[in-house]
Chains A and B, each alone.
Chain A
């Protein structure tokens, strides 16, 4: 052990904060090195002095003065802090903690749904494709699938559109019908689908696959054309690809090819 190394370890040696081997090496060095021994004694003496300093007495009735100020209303928590204290008194009850956690999670979920934000929870069922049987059950029960989404009469690129119109479209025979006149429930189906695809890729896959294969190509053509016209094709394809589902990836490739053909 050299001098520099030893000097760096002197405090640890003083506090017996070293392994036996290192302590022995330091003691061996100190026994043979007057300069390091002097430094060790100086350091030890300094620490002895520090630890021997008298504790200064606080002024008379410091606590009394603090308490008087508190009683006069100083040091009161603000409104937000007082609310926190009250909530923490409730939440701190051990049996209420799990319930509070669930309530907070549900509240957050409700807010996010209200804001119409995408909710992708890794590992949850929502991150995969929703079983078709569930959608069929929803439809047969007359309930709109994912009915919490907002409803709009005309699609805006990049926005999620309502599923109730999709249901009306399906009831009217589906989007694959060759001629869709004004006022047809499927008139805006392509824009709804683009919105849905950018909002919820798994649901988009389910909706597209719900169209029978002979008509699916035409349906995809409509979606691709609308996405190209609205400039949302790259975003739609990207969202579908990021879902990590091979079916969504195939649809993304298809939409990109349609978009490329439309822009030539």
Chain B
């Protein structure tokens, strides 16, 4: 017990999200967006190349199906091109991109039907075993079995949209709470509470006595 308490105090509670960006910073896409709005289509193509990874990654996490994700990712960029005049520069362009992507993924899920999408995702995962690939990121991750990661992926897909989306945006995309609040159009407090509920749901799914034993002397 003493060791655990010591670990908590030494390691500290802070979990840094990856790529956390500060709101209010200068928009790194600002120049390209300006050129695009002035009629330069090449600038928009540069924006597509710059954001393709994050859009694809997000919609894949939200949909759990590669084919659907690719289709939706393409639609996201076509929608962005179509509705770019709505971007008002009050937020970062990347926030606008995330918002369009989240809406497109939610619409696709709705059109597929939640149950069908879930079943499709599960079936595909069971059949191929690789629709959501991951590889060890470090020593800690490398000792985790594939089963645990598969459980985690399954758990994410089984969450409802309201919990899964903020969880993915925070813990996988590494966005700050304020940006998530802006993307989803809900209060920051609501975002935090949903993320906590999502994490708790995943924790309960992953829980097994073998995995969570306290470190022993």
Contacts and interface: CB of A to CB of B under 8 A. Distances in A.
A38 B48 contact: no
Contact of A77 (B57, B83, B152): B83
A19 interface: no
A39 B9 CA distance: 16
A41 B83 contact: no
A27 B149 contact: no
Nearest to A18: B13
A51 B202 CA distance: 13
B167 A46 contact: no
Contacts of B28: none
Interface in B14-67: 14-15, 17-18, 37-38, 41, 44-45, 48-49, 52-53, 56-57, 60, 66
A13 interface: yes
A41 B78 CA distance: 43
Interface in A47-100: 47-59, 62-63, 65-67, 69-70, 74-78, 81, 84-85, 88-89, 92
A57 B153 CA distance: 16
A264 interface: no
Interface residues on B, range: 35 or more
A55 B74 contact: no
B12 interface: yes
A213 B85 CA distance: 62
Interface in B155-194: 156, 167, 171-172, 174, 192
Interface in B74-106: 74, 77-85
Contacts of B5: 27, 30-31, 37
B135 to A, nearest CB: 5
Contacts of B13: 13-16, 23, 44
Interface residues of A, number: 56
Contacts of A51: 15, 17-18, 171-172, 174
A21 interface: no
B199 A47 contact: yes
A8 interface: yes
Interface of A: 7-8, 10-17, 23, 27, 30-31, 34, 37-59, 62-63, 65-67, 69-70, 74-78, 81, 84-85, 88-89, 92
12 contacts: A8-B196, A15-B13, A30-B5, A39-B203, A49-B141, A53-B134, A54-B133, A54-B137, A56-B56, A56-B133, A59-B66, A78-B82
Given A48-B15, A48-B140, A49-B149, 11 more contacts: A11-B196, A12-B196, A16-B14, A23-B13, A30-B8, A31-B8, A44-B13, A47-B171, A49-B206, A58-B57, A89-B38
